[in-house]
Structure 1
Amino acid sequence: MALPASTNILIVGCGPAGLSCAITLAAKGHKDITIIDARPDGRTLSRAIVIHAQTIEALHSVGVADKLNARGVRAKRMVVRWQQTRLIKANFATLEERTRFPWALLISQSDTEDILEERLNELGIHILRPYKVTDMESVQGGIMVKFESGESIKARYVVGADGNRSTVRTLAGIPFRDPKTGKNPHAAVVKPTDSAKKLEKKLGKELVVADVHLSGHIPPTVNPTDLGVFLSPMQFLLLVPLPPAKDDPEQRPIYRMSCPVEPGAKEVTLTYLQKVLNSALGLPTEKTPIVDKLRWASLFRVKSAVADRFHQRMGDGIVTLCGDAGHVHSPAGGQGMNLGIRDAIQLGQALSDIIKRDNDPNTSPSAARAYADKRLEGYTTERRKLAVGVIKITKFMTWATGLEAPPAQRARNALYWTIGRGSVVSKKFTLRLSGLEAADHESIPLNA
C-alpha cells in the first residue's frame, strides 16, 4: 500500500498505544487515518505482559477485550513473597463490584499487538512500513512529515506513539524529563571511568527480562494464575506464567522472569537465571524448577520521565503524544503499557470530537481552533497527572524490591508482612494496580 500525499491524521508508531488510538478513531467513523511504523516486520520484544482491569474496560469500548481475554491467562492475584513466605497480596477478585474484568490478564505484548492489528484491519485501516520520521515542518493547512526514504506526507494532526525516544516529540520541541530531578534520562553523559553504581545513577537500574521454559518440580508458590514477585537475598524475581507460543507444537507454558542484571554481564545466561530462581524460591535443589530453555532475553535500564505537555501546535497542525512518547517509568506493577493504551483511547476520543467540530459548518474556524486547544489541554492535564502518579509509585516499588543490605531487607519484609495482614491496605493495593483507582480521574470511554 502506497503512502498517500496527505492525511487528516498521521499516527507514528504501531505499538499498543498507536494501534489503540487508530482503532478508537476508526471505530468512530474516521477513515482518513494513516498509521506508519519504522520497524520492517512490525514485531516487538514482548516486554509488557500484563493488562489490568481498567485497561481491559477501555479496550472493551473499542471491541478487542474478548479476543484478548480468550488468548491470555487470567491472574487471580499478585503475590509478593520473601522466598516461600507470603508478605502481601493483591486479590483481583475483590474488584468484582468495580469491573466486569476482575483479573490481571497475562499476555505477551506481541500477542496484544497482533489482536489490536487484526481489529484495525477489520475497520479498514492498515499499517504502512517501514517509514522512519526524520523531520517535521509547519506548512499551510498542517504539518509536513518527512521520512528517511525521501518521501513525505502532509497531516493536520500528528500522533506521536513512537516510544520513549520519540522522534515526533523531539521534533515538536516538547521537553521530556524526570518530574523530580528535571533531567532528561536520555541525555546523561557517560564516562569510561564510571562505576556500575554511577552508571545506575545516571542511566537507571539495569534489569533482565527473559522468557523461559521450566521443567522439574513446580512448587505451589509458582502458581499458574499468580503474578508472582519473590524477594530474596538477590533482591527480587518477577516470575509470571504466560500462554504457550502459538507455534510451539508441545504447547509448553512460558514463564516471564525479570530480575537485576548479573554484575558486569553483557548477556543473559541460563546459569545466572537458575541462580536467581534458586535464591528467589529458597527451596532444596530437588524441589526447585530447572530453567531448561531461554526463548529470548534482553537487558534494559529503568528510566523515569514525562513530557512537559502532551500536545503542541505547529502552525495549522497539531502534534499529540500518547504512550511511551509521553511517559516512561519502571515496569514495576505492569503499569506502563496500561497507561499508554488508555492515553491512546482517550486521545482518539479527543481527536474525534475535535474533527467533528472542524467539520461542523456552524462552527467558525476560530471557534474550532479554541475548542481543539481546550480539549487537548484537558487531555494533557489528565494524562500528565496520571503519569506523574505512576512514576512516583513505580519508583518506590523499584527501590523497595531492589534493597540489597540484609537489615534493610528485613525491615521492608516486616513492614510488608504487617500491612499485608490488613484487608483495607490489600484492597487499596489491588485497586491501585488495576488502574480502577485512576478511573475516578479518567474520562469514561464511550462504547464503539
Structure 2
Amino acid sequence: MHSSIAIIGAGPTGLLLAGDLAQAGVSVTLYERRDSTSNLTRAFGVHARTLELLDARGLADEIATTGAHIEALRLFDRIRVDLSRLPSRFPYLLITPQYHVEQALEERAVKAGATVVRGARFTGLRQDDERVTLDFDDGSTATADYVVGTDGVHSAVRSALGLPFPGKAVLTSIMLADVRLANPPASALAVNAVGDAFAMVAPFGDGWFRIFAWDRRNQVNDQTPVTLDEMRAVTSRVHGTDFGITEARWLSRFHSDERQAPRYRVGRVFLAGDAAHVHSPAGGQGMNTGLQDAANLSWKLAATVQGWAPEGLLDTYEAERHPVGKLVLRSSGTLIRLAMVRSRPARWLRNTVGSGLLAVPPVVRRAAGVISGVGITYPGAPRAADLPLRGGERLYEALREGKHVLVTATSMQGYGDRLRIAAPDVDSGVAVLVRPDGYVAWQGPAGDAAKVLPRFLS
C-alpha cells in the first residue's frame, strides 16, 4: 500500500493530523497497533488554544459539552491562575476524558477519507530521496512519501530513526483514579500539596471525578495495583477529607518522565506528540501540546505533497515546535517541583510568593497564556484572534476549509485551491493573512497583499 502520508499511532495527535491531511485531499493512512479503541486514558484536560484549533475544525462546540468548564486553577492553597479573562472564545479549561476528543477526531478523519488500519505493529523503516518503506511484524510492508511518528513515549518510529530521548524520570508511582464522590469539593478543581504528597480532584461533569495523586511514603513500581483505600488515604492527607470516595471505574499507576528528542525531523520522517516530547502531567499540557504539533505540521505536509510549499516550509515545523516542547517541559516541571516542596517554611514561601506574583496583571496574563497555550507564538507568527467577519462569520469558522484565510475588504483573484478571502466586519484598511493553523503569516496595508501572497502560497 502506498500513501502520500503514513502516520504511526492513532492517538489524538495522529488522528488530528490524519483528518487535516484527508480534508486537504491528501491520501493518508493511519496505522495503529491496538486492535480496538479504548475508553481508559490518562489525559483529561483540553486547554483554550486547543479548543480554538478544534473550533477551526468544527469540533469544539460539541466536545465542550462533554465535560466541566474550569475558569480558574487553584494551586497549593492560595495560588490561583485565572483563565476567565483569556482573550479567547474558550476562557476555561475543559475537563473531559481523552476518548471524547479521540472519538470526534477519528470520526472526522474517516469521514474526510483517511484510512485507519488497526492491529498493525510497526517494526522498522527505510528511506531514500523519494519515499519511506515501512515494515510490520506480520512481514508486510507499505510505502509513503512522508511518515509521521505519533506513537507515544515508547515510539518505535523514534527508535527506528536512531534518535535518543534524553531526560529523566521526575515522579514514580503516580496514581490515577476515576471515582464517584459522596461529598465533592466545593471548588470545581481541588489541588493541594503537603510536601510528601499531592492530590488533584477534577470533575468530568457526568458524576465521575478524576483524582491524580502521589504519595512519597508509598513508592512502588507501575505494576502494583492501586486500591481505593490507598486513594482515600492520600486524598485525606492532602485535603483533610477523601470527599467520600465510593467506587472506581478505573485505577492506574504510572511514572512521569521529562524527555525531548533533539530533532523532530530526519529526512522524510517526522515526530509529533509524546514521540517527540514527554513531560510532567502538571498543568495538563500533554495532549494539548501534541494536538498543536499536529496542527502545525499538517498543512505544511499537505502544501509540500501538493507542490506549492515555499522553500524550506517543512523545516519550520521543528523550528517552531521544538522550542514550544522545551517551554512546556520547563513550565510543567516547575509546577511539579513546586508541588514536591517538602519543608513547611518552603511551602509557606511558595504559597506567599506565588499568590503575590499572581496578583500582578502581567504575570497573571503570562501564566494563563502559557498554561492555556493562548500565549504561545512563533517567531514572526503570532496567534490570530478570532476576528469577526462580514455576515456574522468568525475567522475560525472560515479556517474550517483548511486553507489560508486572507482577511481583507479588497477584492482579489487567484489561489482558490489554497486561499479563502474573507471580508472583515469593519474595514480598517489592513489585510491579515492567517495560516491554516491559526497563526498570522503576514499583516499589512490591504494594497500590498497581492504582492506578498506569492511568498506564502507558491
TM-score class, shorter-chain normalisation, is 0.7 to 0.9
Closer, same or farther: CA 231–64 of 1 in aligned 2, 3 Å: same
Please give the per-residue CA displacement for 1:185-213, whole angstroms capped at 9, x wherever unaligned. 4xxxxxxxxxxxxxxxxx43114232333
Asked if residue 329 in structure 1 is aligned to residue 295 in structure 2, the reply is: no
Shift of residue 258, structure 1, vs aligned partner: 3.0
Shift of residue 298, structure 1, vs aligned partner: 1.7
Closer, same or farther: CA 376–69 of 1 in aligned 2, 3 Å: same
Closer, same or farther: CA 305–264 of 1 in aligned 2, 3 Å: closer
Specify the SS of the correspondent of 1:438: coil
Closer, same or farther: CA 440–260 of 1 in aligned 2, 3 Å: farther
Shift of residue 343, structure 1, vs aligned partner: 0.3
State the TM-score, normalized to the length of structure 1. 0.80
Q: Which runs of 5+ in 1 are unaligned?
A: 179-184, 186-202, 245-251, 361-367
Q: Where do residues 257-276 of structure 1 align in structure 2 (5 Å cutoff)?
A: 257-260=212-215, 263-265=218-220, 266-276=224-234
Letter in 2 for 1:170: S
Please give the root-mean-square deviation of Cα atoms over the aligned residues, in Å: 2.2
Asked if residue 282 in structure 1 is aligned to residue 240 in structure 2, the reply is: yes
Match of 2:13 in 1: 17
Match of 2:194 in 1: 232
Higher-RCO chain (CA-CA 8 Å, sequence separation at least 6): 1
Contact 1:215 1:292 in 2 (8 A): yes
Return the match for 2:93 from 98, 104, 117. Answer: 104
Which range is displaced more, 263-272 or 382-391?
263-272
Q: Distance in 2 between matches of 1:229 and 1:295?
A: 21
Please give the per-residue CA displacement for 1:305-337, whole angstroms capped at 9, x wherever unaligned. 111111111xxxx10111111111111101111
Return the match for 2:349 from 411, 417, 430. Answer: 411
Match of 2:113 in 1: 124
Q: Distance in 1 between matches of 2:170 and 2:72?
A: 29
Asked if residue 216 in structure 1 is aligned to residue 182 in structure 2, the reply is: yes
Shift of residue 304, structure 1, vs aligned partner: 1.1
Q: Percent identity at matched positions?
A: 28
Shift of residue 219, structure 1, vs aligned partner: 4.0
Asked if residue 6 in structure 1 is aligned to residue 2 in structure 2, the reply is: yes
Shift of residue 439, structure 1, vs aligned partner: 3.5
Contact 2:150 2:272 in 1 (8 A): yes
Q: Distance in 2 between matches of 1:423 and 1:218?
A: 31
Asked if residue 350 in structure 1 is aligned to residue 300 in structure 2, the reply is: yes
Please give the per-residue CA displacement for 1:145-199, whole angstroms capped at 9, x wherever unaligned. 0101111101111110011111111112233223xxxxxx4xxxxxxxxxxxxxx
Contact 1:8 1:33 in 2 (8 A): yes
Match of 2:251 in 1: 297
Shift of residue 264, structure 1, vs aligned partner: 4.2
State the TM-score, normalized to the length of structure 2. 0.78
Contact 2:215 2:234 in 1 (8 A): no
Match of 1:249 in 2: none
Q: Where do residues 36-435 of structure 1 align in structure 2 (5 Å cutoff)?
A: 36-43=31-38, 45-82=40-77, 87-95=78-86, 98-138=87-127, 141-178=130-167, 185=168, 203-220=169-186, 223=187, 226-244=188-206, 252-260=207-215, 263-265=218-220, 266-282=224-240, 289-313=243-267, 318-357=268-307, 371=311, 374-435=312-373
Which range is displaced more, 385-394 or 209-218?
209-218
Q: Distance in 2 between matches of 1:440 and 1:99?
A: 18
Q: Distance in 2 between matches of 1:212 and 1:43?
A: 15
Which range is displaced more, 112-121 or 401-410?
401-410
Q: Distance in 2 between matches of 1:443 and 1:353?
A: 21
Q: Distance in 2 between matches of 1:11 and 1:443?
A: 28
Closer, same or farther: CA 212–162 of 1 in aligned 2, 3 Å: closer
Closer, same or farther: CA 158–444 of 1 in aligned 2, 3 Å: farther
Specify the SS of the correspondent of 1:347: helix
Letter in 2 for 1:413: N
Closer, same or farther: CA 11–276 of 1 in aligned 2, 3 Å: same
Shift of residue 15, structure 1, vs aligned partner: 0.3
Letter in 2 for 1:128: V
Q: Distance in 2 between matches of 1:24 and 1:138?
A: 24
Size of the alignment, in residue pairs? 383
Contact 1:233 1:279 in 2 (8 A): no
Shift of residue 262, structure 1, vs aligned partner: 5.3
Match of 2:29 in 1: 34
Which range is displaced more, 342-351 or 235-244?
235-244
Q: Distance in 2 between matches of 1:444 and 1:144?
A: 36
